[in-house]
Chain A
């Protein structure tokens, strides 16, 4: 695998390997010895020198072989998401959500799961580089002291600092402190992605309270800083539980499919040209004066949608909710805010609070465009770039890369020497978030102390340390900086005590004042936006969206995320120009045809993919592809959509042209067929019938069933709530040491994921009904795979697990042929990483790494079952429901997956399976699966 390059010899003893943490003792020694002996580049592993506070277990009780858990936070576009990280003898191996932290509630997303792999990325920067030559922090400090002297003479004139917008109190404090020191220095902020504040306010909502939700181009279920919280709340209104349901109704207006749109009861694909018309009509139908046009000149699809939406809103107000995508133009977001005002939802289902992230900070001199202008005016002689990668993510028309090269003195702090680092005089390695002391705030405003899990593997620094270094030219420890920030908060007397609790719980509960809701907004803000519906953008439109897996491209060198199937297309290792069929046929384009997509004087070259559910004339491109300096994994995957972006139209462009080049590029997907062919696989049920007893599909058997002894493990998957986010796939990969096989092997149909999310579409391709169906091993009681194995390498456990005995497998692959669910995966080659690759450090020591030529598949996380069993025996208590949770269950933001003991009638899974809709996939084959499904309930009102 490209990602698994063996380390260069120089990496064998990275700086810091020889440094022993304070409080060095036998355990430290064992760990260090073990780690460094085990793998190159790993010698730095270790609990950081500062006193960490483990989540559940005191460090003193660490027993080799028993994992320890620590609470910390991962920055999601700068916002905190609380996580709990599992470490084995000092090396982080797995990330889970922090149930106690409001933005996580115990769940995570695919990127968070995969971020553990980036920690061990062999291609991370290991030490400072000066003009591309290996250097040191000391050398940088020397040069900086000199430069700083000159700058301070002029109060920091012509000195620009570029960071990503942050929620970190400490980092912000350090930046302000720097600006105070250098009044003339300027602080710019850049994110290639959306800003979540508008008109000085940040909308936050409570979907659970809303009976009717209108989402305008908003993927609040998956692509939002609070998506985990939102999805959890939304799901509570979608599932049948305890034989009852209280479904809300979701209306979605969007140009391209999103996880939210896929959950909609009523979805209307609208192009940017039609959007304002439809919104205007909605406002008009509600008696609002919003926008011209009113119900006039709506197409009949739109008319019906507007009519029913308006009716529902009027009937259910104020228990309704309107949300707008953060990518939308201000006027659209104002329309939504005005609508919320009219419907009286403010304070009930939605509240506008002070922004948590620093985008709008008064001390900030503006965004990247402002910086670019300053640079072009020659007002930037010294530029420090912290974290961001503008040379790659800047809109094309800023011509930032060239301007950056023209800056006399520039320094880049980042995890990789990326496109930006390449163009700066200095590249200084930044620590991975699991190596960093910092603090972050969640979207809701609550803070989390970000404590490191491990000493930096390489000679790296955290952002706060770096800003302090720039300000004072002296090294400071992030630990002290963070404590400095928080010592102020709370009563300083009990600081140590509360500090300890904050770390322990992974949230700063008391001290941090939750962000206050703002008072009533000025009328200007809440007035209906005035827009001109008559002059739409010219079709076709290019819709820019962050890559579902790679975000703005920062995860490009993460092999797990590259190989994680993208929603709706199952595309891997690539991005594409997604067209609706009509548009493609209009240009005589077929899947895989390489086209030149042009907007004005900007153009990109990429393969075409036919997409379902797009509004007419809408071309979707994902940002984050086509990296040139990401590393061996990420370089050259797909095309770079930023090159099509202009500062004027960051998210939508009109008047695009498509030119067929004649070249063809094979797009690789893990799923190639998206129709159920009329088969009864993933079921839908209208809310009205959701409680009707299912038609039983129990088949008889000539054989008397095997006697059950003890536990009977089983799983239930609720299609009503599954949003198809693929977090389970990523979590399974992290938990079970599942290898990455690469683009070519996936093209040959050899992906290794143990759980997959099948996606089916039904009906009109322009606006189909769609359903996501996670498919792990069904653990059939009459398992067809077991019957045909000639060497009994796959057999049944007394607790009903369909076990795969790797050591016994000879690889006839007959079991895979005979598995009707095709969940078995085969090691066609030796997919393991090279023995000396640091990625082995991530591997779960409790899961076998499979060799070439053996079959493998979902085990229901048998290692977790046994761990739970052992823990229960150790404590001399019976296993409790919930003691054992599979990786896919634990990560799921919508609690769609429930696992447990069917022998216990009161277990959550047993109760789930008593729900009326419970059904087995392909039950007619009488395989008796232990994994069953609940149908997807939809509440369109039509059939209700």
Chain B
């Protein structure tokens, strides 16, 4: 049997939207999606159910790796082709610090961006949600809450009423 379509509810006020998200989740719905033009406080955490973001860890590892790589490169370069430069020792470590630092930052930043793309699945230009005519405003001044079709409680009655009751402008089905 195929899952029923998801329900997409449109909200006007961020506060109402945030309240609705909490209310729907309280009602036991688990497969929810929220769309908003800016990060309304609390909503994301509500949806992620307090999961932690891998971002910080990823960037830390990326930064350290690239920093070590940088110093390694400088040390290697100084020793593979040993030159007397102004009478300075081969590993003039103080001179190697700036580049090590710069590359640490660079490594961390790039790791972070790729981590975002990975977690958010970018680039993904097409998505079922875009088929909804109202969705254009999700990036402007409207807030959307979606109960996915594969939510166990979706089959049951009351999902639409719940959303309306939570203050949705309008509710429509969407292929999710």
Q: Using CB atoms and an 8 Å cutoff, list the residues of chain A in contact with chain B.
A: 701, 703-706, 780-787, 789, 792, 795-798, 928
Q: Which residue of B lies closest to A798 (CB)?
A: B84
Residue pair A705, B85 in contact (C-beta under 8 Å): no
Q: Give chain A residues whose Cβ lies under 8 Å from the Cβ of B89.
A: 703-704
A705 to B88, CA, bound (A): 8
Question: B86 on the interface (CB 8 Å rule)?
Answer: yes
A705 to B83, CA, bound (A): 14
Q: Give chain B residues whose Cβ lies under 8 Å from the Cβ of A797.
A: 84
Q: How far is the CB of A860 from chain B (nearest CB, A)?
A: 16
Residue pair A795, B83 in contact (C-beta under 8 Å): yes
Q: Give chain A residues whose Cβ lies under 8 Å from the Cβ of B86.
A: 780, 782-787, 796
Q: How far is the CB of A797 from chain B (nearest CB, A)?
A: 8
A703 to B87, CA, bound (A): 8
The 7 A-B residue pairs whose C-beta atoms are closest, nearest first, are A796-B84, A787-B86, A786-B86, A782-B87, A795-B83, A783-B86, A786-B85
Q: Which residue of A lies closest to B81 (CB)?
A: A792
A645 to B83, CA, bound (A): 62
Q: How far is the CB of B85 from chain A (nearest CB, A)?
A: 5
**B54-94 near A? 1/0 per residue, CB < 8 Å:** 00000000000000000000000000000111111100000
Pair count A-B, CB < 8 A = 37
Q: Which residue of A lies closest to B77 (CB)?
A: A792
A26 to B88, CA, bound (A): 53
Q: Which residue of B lies closest to A800 (CB)?
A: B84
A233 to B46, CA, bound (A): 100
**B89-130 near A? 1/0 per residue, CB < 8 Å:** 100000000000000000000000000000000000000000
Residue pair B85, A706 in contact (C-beta under 8 Å): no
Q: Which residue of B lies closest to A818 (CB)?
A: B86
Q: How far is the CB of A829 from chain B (nearest CB, A)?
A: 29
Q: Give chain B residues whose Cβ lies under 8 Å from the Cβ of A784.
A: 86
Q: How far is the CB of B83 from chain A (nearest CB, A)?
A: 5
Q: Which residue of A lies closest to B89 (CB)?
A: A703
Given pairs A701-B87, A796-B86, 16 additional interface contacts (CB within 8 A): A703-B87, A705-B87, A706-B87, A782-B86, A782-B87, A782-B88, A783-B86, A783-B87, A786-B84, A787-B85, A789-B85, A792-B85, A796-B84, A796-B85, A796-B87, A797-B84
Q: Give chain B residues whose Cβ lies under 8 Å from the Cβ of A928.
A: 87
Q: Enumerate 8 A-B pairs (CB-CB under 8 Å) in ascending A order.
A: A780-B86, A781-B87, A783-B87, A792-B83, A795-B83, A795-B85, A796-B84, A797-B84
Residue among B84, B86, B88 facing the most chain A CB atoms (10 A cut-off): B86
Residue among B83, B84, B89 facing the most chain A CB atoms (10 A cut-off): B84
| Chain A, interface SS category | loop
Q: Give chain B residues whose Cβ lies under 8 Å from the Cβ of A789.
A: 85
A797 to B82, CA, bound (A): 11
Residue pair A706, B84 in contact (C-beta under 8 Å): yes
Residue pair B84, A795 in contact (C-beta under 8 Å): yes
Q: Which residue of A lies closest to B87 (CB)?
A: A782
A928 to B88, CA, bound (A): 13
Q: Which residue of B lies closest to A701 (CB)?
A: B87
Q: Give chain B residues whose Cβ lies under 8 Å from the Cβ of A782.
A: 86-88
**B162-173 near A? 1/0 per residue, CB < 8 Å:** 000000000000
A272 to B86, CA, bound (A): 55
A421 to B89, CA, bound (A): 66
Q: Give chain A residues whose Cβ lies under 8 Å from the Cβ of B87.
A: 701, 703, 705-706, 781-783, 796, 928
Residue pair A703, B85 in contact (C-beta under 8 Å): no
Q: Give chain A residues whose Cβ lies under 8 Å from the Cβ of B85.
A: 786-787, 789, 792, 795-796
Q: Give chain A residues whose Cβ lies under 8 Å from the Cβ of B84.
A: 706, 786, 795-798
Q: Which residue of A lies closest to B90 (CB)?
A: A706
A787 to B94, CA, bound (A): 13
Q: How far is the CB of A737 from chain B (nearest CB, A)?
A: 26
**B22-56 near A? 1/0 per residue, CB < 8 Å:** 00000000000000000000000000000000000
A786 to B85, CA, bound (A): 5
Q: Give chain A residues whose Cβ lies under 8 Å from the Cβ of B88.
A: 703, 782, 787
A787 to B83, CA, bound (A): 11
Residue among B87, B88, B89 facing the most chain A CB atoms (10 A cut-off): B87
Q: Which residue of B lies closest to A928 (CB)?
A: B87
Q: Which residue of B lies closest to A797 (CB)?
A: B84
Q: Which residue of B lies closest to A926 (CB)?
A: B87
Q: Give chain B residues whose Cβ lies under 8 Å from the Cβ of A705.
A: 87
A784 to B87, CA, bound (A): 9
Q: Give chain B residues whose Cβ lies under 8 Å from the Cβ of A787.
A: 85-86, 88
A18 to B84, CA, bound (A): 53
A701 to B86, CA, bound (A): 12
Q: How far is the CB of B98 from chain A (nearest CB, A)?
A: 13
Q: How far is the CB of A526 from chain B (nearest CB, A)?
A: 65
Residue in A781, A785, A796 whose CB lies within 8 Å of B83? A796
A149 to B145, CA, bound (A): 126
A785 to B86, CA, bound (A): 7
Q: Which residue of B lies closest to A706 (CB)?
A: B84
A797 to B89, CA, bound (A): 14
Q: Give chain B residues whose Cβ lies under 8 Å from the Cβ of A781.
A: 87
A928 to B86, CA, bound (A): 10
Q: Which residue of A lies closest to B84 (CB)?
A: A796
A787 to B87, CA, bound (A): 9
A780 to B85, CA, bound (A): 11
Q: How far is the CB of B12 from chain A (nearest CB, A)?
A: 59
A706 to B89, CA, bound (A): 8
Q: Give chain B residues whose Cβ lies under 8 Å from the Cβ of A704.
A: 89
Q: Give chain B residues whose Cβ lies under 8 Å from the Cβ of A785.
A: 86
A705 to B86, CA, bound (A): 10
A789 to B87, CA, bound (A): 13
Residue among B83, B85, B88, B89 facing the most chain A CB atoms (10 A cut-off): B85
Q: Which residue of B lies closest to A705 (CB)?
A: B87
Q: How far is the CB of B62 from chain A (nearest CB, A)?
A: 27
A135 to B87, CA, bound (A): 65
A787 to B84, CA, bound (A): 10
Q: How far is the CB of B115 from chain A (nearest CB, A)?
A: 33
Q: Which residue of A lies closest to B85 (CB)?
A: A786
Q: Which residue of B lies closest to A781 (CB)?
A: B87
Q: How far is the CB of A926 from chain B (nearest CB, A)?
A: 10
A786 to B84, CA, bound (A): 9
Q: Give chain B residues whose Cβ lies under 8 Å from the Cβ of A786.
A: 84-86
Q: Which residue of A lies closest to B83 (CB)?
A: A795
A170 to B85, CA, bound (A): 60
A782 to B85, CA, bound (A): 8
Q: Which residue of B lies closest to A796 (CB)?
A: B84
Q: How far is the CB of B81 from chain A (nearest CB, A)?
A: 8
Q: Give chain B residues whose Cβ lies under 8 Å from the Cβ of A798.
A: 84
Q: How far is the CB of A584 from chain B (nearest CB, A)?
A: 46
A783 to B88, CA, bound (A): 9
A798 to B83, CA, bound (A): 9
Q: How far is the CB of B70 from chain A (nearest CB, A)?
A: 16
Q: Give chain B residues whose Cβ lies under 8 Å from the Cβ of A795.
A: 83-85
Residue among A786, A789, A798 facing the most chain B CB atoms (10 A cut-off): A786
A784 to B84, CA, bound (A): 12
A809 to B47, CA, bound (A): 59
Q: How far is the CB of A714 from chain B (nearest CB, A)?
A: 15
A796 to B88, CA, bound (A): 10
A466 to B140, CA, bound (A): 103
Q: How far is the CB of A401 from chain B (nearest CB, A)?
A: 61
A328 to B47, CA, bound (A): 109
A781 to B87, CA, bound (A): 6
A783 to B86, CA, bound (A): 4
Q: Give chain B residues whose Cβ lies under 8 Å from the Cβ of A783.
A: 86-87
Q: How far is the CB of B155 from chain A (nearest CB, A)?
A: 69
A67 to B68, CA, bound (A): 54
Q: How far is the CB of A278 from chain B (nearest CB, A)?
A: 55
Q: How far is the CB of A211 from chain B (nearest CB, A)?
A: 47
Q: How far is the CB of A414 from chain B (nearest CB, A)?
A: 54
A704 to B87, CA, bound (A): 9
Q: How far is the CB of A778 from chain B (nearest CB, A)?
A: 13
A798 to B84, CA, bound (A): 8
**B125-157 near A? 1/0 per residue, CB < 8 Å:** 000000000000000000000000000000000
Q: How far is the CB of B125 from chain A (nearest CB, A)?
A: 43
